[in-house]
Amino acid sequence: MVKARSSHAQSSSANGSLPPLESGDRLTRQEFERRYHAMPHLKKAELIEGVVYVPSPLRFEPHAEPHGQLITWLGVYQAMTGGVRMGDNPTVRLDLDNEPQPDAVLLISDAVGGQSRLSSDGYIEGAPELVAEVAASSAAYDLYDKKNAYRRNGVQEYIVWQVLDQKLDWFVLRGGEYIAQETNVDIIRSEGFPGLWLAVTALLDGDMTKVLATVQEGIRSPEHEAFVQRLRI
């Protein structure tokens, strides 16, 4: 049941206009999209396991800056990998109860065998192969309900950067469960995107020169070349 509303929201509903999205609302995906479309000023809202989440304005160091660093890293890889697409804050229709707006996605185009596709109205439908999120800490819902939704729908790799905790988790889907990659290493290598290498400590330390040098090294690897050739077939 949708939670009780303020008198303003109830009045708006009575007058025929749509109530605004509010964190904690329980909505169908169709109703969530209707209200989201009616709020063009709203930059981000998510439906996770049927519950609406509307984040607070984002601060620079805990979110905007690390978000930009993830996008830069993924963008370098995507630019050199034909058949792979990268998105910043796209709405993803995972299933009837989940419509997240992840910080970044990396996906294989459906034209070359990817598991998601673009709908006629321009949204991602299905699970991107890789999703990355910036979270303040381990208490964030990114590591709970959202993680379960991604796992259940088949997101193959899930990265969560917990900025305040100075920690990064990289989960790989195996046998229907997420297995945490060892992050106490110099470099993590993606299983689904050969050549996507991440210098974890460098990223946490803000050393983007090393982060980009590392992913460029991965792009020059034989396994990346083989992956690119495979996507061309």
Which domains does the chain possess?
7-53 (no CATH), 60-232 (3.90.1570.10)
Over the range 108-144, which residues count as b (16 or more CB within 10 Å of their CB) and which as e? beeeeebebeeeeeeebebbbbbbbbbbeeeebebbe
Distance in angstroms (rounded) separating the CA atoms of residues 157 and 160: 10
Give the pLDDT confidence score for residue 16 in this predicted structure. 54
Give SS3 for 174.
Answer: strand
- Average pLDDT over the chain reads 91
Give the pLDDT confidence score for residue 4 in this predicted structure. 37
Give SS3 for 84.
Answer: strand
Q: Which of 84, 90, 123, 89 is nearest to 107 (CA)?
A: 84
Residue 192, token pair as written in the block: 């689904």
* Residue 1 pLDDT greater than 70, yes or no: no
Q: DSSP code of 121?
A: T
Distance in angstroms (rounded) separating the CA atoms of residues 115 and 87: 15
Query: Model confidence over 51-87: pLDDT tens digits?
Result: 999 998 889 999 999 999 999 999 999 999 999 999 9
Please report which helix (H) or strand (E) contains residue 107, including its range: strand 104-108
* Residue 32 pLDDT greater than 70, yes or no: yes
At a CB cut-off of 8 Å and minimum separation 6, what does 125 contact?
Answer: 92, 93, 116, 117, 118, 119
Give the pLDDT confidence score for residue 189 in this predicted structure. 97
Q: CA-based Rg of the chain, rounded to a whole angstrom?
A: 19
Amino acid at 195: G
Distance in angstroms (rounded) separating the CA atoms of residues 158 and 228: 22
Contact of 198 with 181, CB cutoff 8 Å? no
Q: DSSP code of 110?
A: G
Global pTM value: 0.90
Query: Model confidence over 137-192: pLDDT tens digits?
Result: 877 889 999 999 999 999 999 999 999 999 999 999 999 999 999 988 899 999 99
Give the pLDDT confidence score for residue 15 in this predicted structure. 38
